[in-house]
Amino acid sequence: MRLFEPLFAIGENIRGIQQARVAMSRIFSILDLEPEEALNAAGEKPSFQKSISFNKVSFSYKEGEPVLDAVSFTVEKGQTVALVGASGSGKTTAVSLLCRFYPYAEGEILVDGRPLNALDLKAWRRMIGLVLQDIYLFPGTILENVRVYDDEVSELDVFGALKTVHAADFVRRLPNELRTELHERGANLSMGEKQLLSFARAVAFDADIVIMDEATASVDVATERKIQESMGELLKGRTAIIVAHRLSSILKADKILFFKDGRIVAQGRHEELLSSLPDYEELVRLQFPDLENTGRDADERLVALETLA
């Protein structure tokens, strides 16, 4: 037995070395990446006064497996545009390209007629308020989490943002209000409270463009209704792009883009898609089964859906 113990130990050490080599290769692949600042050091100052356009944009995470295939659409300043469709249809990828998390391979994205890639990266992202399903809150105070350690955002700005999205009341009830310490990932807050703080971030930074990716997917229906009230304040006077699974959050969008297999197969207002696109009608029927009892008239279905939502 004593003879085998060292052999077992050698085997374990070899396995540990192999795991360490894999981990090191991943770390070095990140360290070898060119800093984002260097990618766009001389970029133009962004300005968004008219529109954002995707013109035949294609993208693949893996070669030969397109996630977006010649996608084209326009978002006018002040509009609320929703992206809907099955999981994996390309919705989140489209907004990721707009945030410049990845370089697109084909086509172009234009902001007021200027190529997105030509704009200063840091300044462009500062114009965007990103609200995700998985909200990241770090250990620190509510004040620090909302302004993300940016001293240009004052305490008054933070409280005003909380008030705008109807989060001020729950913050006042906390032991130290704005200076209440949050646990890792905000574990001492409810999902709805964490989502309201993410809304407040976008307001505090006065984002011109708000991008919401499945922002209400992880909350119950009652909490979603409260969040939708706050969404109205968050989006007021702003351009919004909403990736939505729950249709109740996008019924009044100015335009809905229906994604399927990396393409936009239809776009229009809710009532237009409801009466013209079977795939969209099926999605509505699955989420609102009581809608079938209202008859087939599009106007009746719209009224019923707004009642059910």
Of 106, 173, 107, nearest to 142 by C-alpha is 173
Give the pLDDT confidence score for residue 110 in this predicted structure: 92
Mean pLDDT for the stretch of residues 185-191: 75
| Domain-located, residue 167 | yes
Q: What is the pLDDT of residues 189-233, one digit of tens each?
A: 777 788 888 888 888 887 889 888 876 655 556 666 666 766 776
Last residue of a domain, one of 205, 226, 258: 205
Any idea what the CATH number is for the domain that residue 179 is in? 3.40.50.300
| Domain-located, residue 300 | no
| Domain-located, residue 272 | no
Give the pLDDT confidence score for residue 2 in this predicted structure: 63
Mean pLDDT for the stretch of residues 158-187: 80
Domain residues for 14? 4-33
Better pLDDT: 149 or 242: 242
Contact yes or no for 267/245 (Cβ under 8 A): no
| Domain-located, residue 119 | no
Give the pLDDT confidence score for residue 309 in this predicted structure: 44
| Domain-located, residue 153 | yes
| Domain-located, residue 19 | yes
Last residue of a domain, one of 174, 205, 236: 205
* Count of structural domains, the chain: 2
pLDDT at 55 over 90: yes
> Residues with Cβ < 8 Å from 166, sequence gap 6 or more?
196, 226, 229, 230, 233
Mean pLDDT for the stretch of residues 176-180: 81
Mean pLDDT for the stretch of residues 267-278: 86
Of 243, 214, 205, 238, nearest to 79 by C-alpha is 238
pLDDT at 56 over 90: yes
Give the pLDDT confidence score for residue 166 in this predicted structure: 80
pLDDT at 294 over 60: no
Please tell me the distance from the alpha carbon of residue 55 to that of residue 33, in angstroms, as a whole number: 28
Of 278, 282, 253, 249, nearest to 266 by C-alpha is 278
| Domain-located, residue 91 | no
- The pLDDT > 90 percentage for the chain reads 12
Task: Work out the widest C-alpha separation in the chain, in whole angstroms.
Answer: 82
Pull the structure tokens for residue 171: 């913050």
Q: What is the pLDDT of residues 74-129, one digit of tens each?
A: 999 999 999 988 888 888 899 999 999 888 878 999 999 899 988 888 888 888 88
Mean pLDDT for the stretch of residues 61-80: 89
Better pLDDT: 61 or 230: 61
SS3 per residue for the chain: CCCHHHHHHHHHHHHHHHHHHHHHHHHHHHHCCCCHHHHCCCCECCCCCCEEEEEEEEEEEECCEEEEEEEEEEEECCCEEEEEECCCCCHHHHHHHHCCCCCCCEEEEEECCEEHHHECHHHHHHCEEEEECCCCCCCEEHHHHHHCCCCCCCHHHHHHHHHHCCCHHHHHCCCCHHHCEECHHHCCCCHHHHHHHHHHHHHHCCCCEEEEECCCCCCCHHHHHHHHHHHHHHHCCCEEEEECCCHHHCCCCCEEEEEECCEEEEEECHHHHHHHCHHHHHHHHHHCHHHHHHCCCHHHHHHHHHHHC
pTM for this model (two decimals): 0.73
Give the pLDDT confidence score for residue 76 in this predicted structure: 93
| Domain-located, residue 176 | yes
Give the pLDDT confidence score for residue 57 in this predicted structure: 92
pLDDT at 307 over 60: no
Q: What is the pLDDT of residues 131-163, one digit of tens each?
A: 877 777 888 888 888 887 677 778 788 888 888
Give the pLDDT confidence score for residue 83 in this predicted structure: 92
Pull the structure tokens for residue 240: 């919004």
Contact yes or no for 247/166 (Cβ under 8 A): no
pLDDT at 290 over 80: no
